[in-house]
Chains A and B, each alone.
Chain A
Amino acid sequence: MIDSIFALIAEELGRIAADKGEVLPPLTADSRFLDGDLPIDSLDLATLLVVLEQRTGQDPFREGFRQFTTVGELAALYTVPA
């Protein structure tokens, strides 16, 4: 069920990149957020988390930070509502 969260992340990252005039390379579960794989910076990543909270109603970081480096690791922090 992580697939639909993955699709949501891809959609919103694509929008954030497009706003900056960048094109997002094909996204995989192993794409690393801040390691140069993707044309985004930490402000863009912070934006992504806010938008994901707006769209899913979930904030996996409410109780403190949870480590993630890749798109797949972030997707796994969200649960898909039934």
Chain B
Amino acid sequence: MTGTRPDWVHPAFRLVEGEEVFGWAEIAALPVPAGGVVHADRPSLVLAALAAAEAEGRGVLLARGTADPDGWRPGQGFTVTLESSGTTGTPKRLCHDFARLRGRLRGVADEGARWLLTYDPGAFAGLQVMLTAVAAGALLVTVPGPGAGTIAALAQAARRHAVTHVSGTPSFWRAFLMALGDTELPLAAVTLGGEAADQPLLDRLAERFPDARLRHIYASTEAGALFAVADSRAGFPADWLDEAPDGLDLRIAGGVLEVRSPRAAPGAVDPDGWLSTGDLVERQGDRVLFAGRLDGLVNVGGVKVSPEAVERRLLAVDGVADAAVLAVASPITGHLLTATIVPVPGAEEAALRAALRAATADLPPAARPRALTFADHIPLSAAGKKSRKGPR
């Protein structure tokens, strides 16, 4: 640790982490683990590790405890490797050039701003919020704990520090509105990202925080942050298919949104520069609206989960004759996985429930099926398939 302040850190930046308050001097003095692997559970440590990696001209891995970091090597030059919160199979690691990671952040000083961190500090979105607050010389309010802390703790911290800038998933916002109750917050900026923002939620936010700038961000893993929509309406203007902002090109092919972006990771695009986002869209009048994922993944509280993969696990449990995992719409978390189980004759329900729970216990909570129902058969769609999405 050299002790000098990196040029991406504004001198006025301060960090609240639970009961502790850090200036840059305190952050820079934190001991950083050797080898470039840092467990990304504390924002202070993540920032210290970034500065140390930059000073030493090597990579840093922000580990989230989902994979064994032993095989990882920091390499030459300052890069930041993030782990996806993968719900199926091995979590993906994506190595980012630090300059590109900061590419879309506007380095505008805003020392009066008080940001609330609602994302995991090791996640792409969490890092974006942290780096924005760091560059602005703002106060960054964070709650230690798994993820970014519980909704109750975040609401309490938001009240206590009178936060002005909050960025979170639609599922975060639905829960946050409930936890806040009637509390007044001096919000200047309300940002949504990570899953499609629905019109009822945008309407509630506009009504609840009439003075705040309301924006929803669209990003994809391969293409990075793509665009922000600021007109308080769900989806994006259909005009953008002809002329998109920020140097982007957008088109719909086979119902799927494709993008051509100057910020896309090389390698992920076709020879003409187009990249499929995997997001299904529908054009409705002057608007293009999001309509789920091509790969069948559903968003549960900001986490992409695979009903099929969960179903395969349940089908492998002793005593299960058939199982269907269904994504039902939820006013709280966007979607929720539920399961219908057909037990083999003579199976004992309590023991089977315990076995089913054990079969999904290692998945992130959002990917575990809730509300397990026992039935004597699984209803099939007209095409003879298990229907994957609930009514609505």
B is a partner of A: yes
Residues of A within 8 A of B (CB): 19, 32-36, 41-43, 45-47, 49-51, 54, 61-62, 64-65, 67-69
Which residues, 59 to 73 on B, are CB-close (under 8 Å) to A?
Answer: none
Residues of B within 8 A of A (CB): 150-153, 155-156, 171, 174-175, 177-179, 181, 200-201, 204, 300-301, 328, 330-333, 336, 338, 357, 365-366, 370-371, 373, 392
Contact of B174 among A36, A43, A65 (CB under 8 A): A65
Contact of B151 among A41, A46, A47, A65 (CB under 8 A): A41
B330:A46 contact, CB within 8 angstroms: yes
With contacts A36-B150, A54-B373, A65-B204 known, is A43 near B365, CB below 8 A? yes
Contact of B179 among A19, A34, A49, A62 (CB under 8 A): A34
The 5 closest A-B pairs by CB, nearest first: A36-B152, A61-B331, A42-B175, A47-B370, A46-B332
With contacts A61-B331, A68-B178 known, is A43 near B366, CB below 8 A? yes
Query: How many angstroms from the CA of A50 to the CA of B373 in the assembled complex?
Result: 11
Query: How many angstroms from the CA of A19 to the CA of B371 in the assembled complex?
Result: 11
A69:B181 contact, CB within 8 angstroms: yes
Residues of A within 8 A of B331 (CB): 46, 49, 61, 65
Query: How many angstroms from the CA of A47 to the CA of B179 in the assembled complex?
Result: 17
Point out which of B300, B330, B338, B373 has the most chain A C-beta atoms below 10 A from its C-beta: B330
Query: How many angstroms from the CA of A67 to the CA of B332 in the assembled complex?
Result: 11
Query: How many angstroms from the CA of A62 to the CA of B200 in the assembled complex?
Result: 11
Query: How many angstroms from the CA of A35 to the CA of B152 in the assembled complex?
Result: 4
Subset of 5 A-B contacts with CB under 8 Å: A19-B357, A41-B365, A43-B333, A43-B365, A50-B336
B371:A51 contact, CB within 8 angstroms: yes
B152:A67 contact, CB within 8 angstroms: no
**How far, in Å, is B133 (CB) from chain A's closest CB?**
24
A43:B152 contact, CB within 8 angstroms: no
A49:B373 contact, CB within 8 angstroms: no
Closest-by-CB residue of A relative to B156 is A36
Query: How many angstroms from the CA of A35 to the CA of B153 in the assembled complex?
Result: 8
Contact of A42 among B153, B204, B301 (CB under 8 A): B301
With contacts A36-B156, A47-B336 known, is A65 near B201, CB below 8 A? yes
**How far, in Å, is A70 (CB) from chain B's closest CB?**
9
A50:B338 contact, CB within 8 angstroms: yes
A34:B301 contact, CB within 8 angstroms: no
Residues of B within 8 A of A61 (CB): 331
Closest-by-CB residue of A relative to B176 is A34
Residues of B within 8 A of A50 (CB): 328, 330, 336, 338, 370-371
Closest-by-CB residue of A relative to B200 is A64
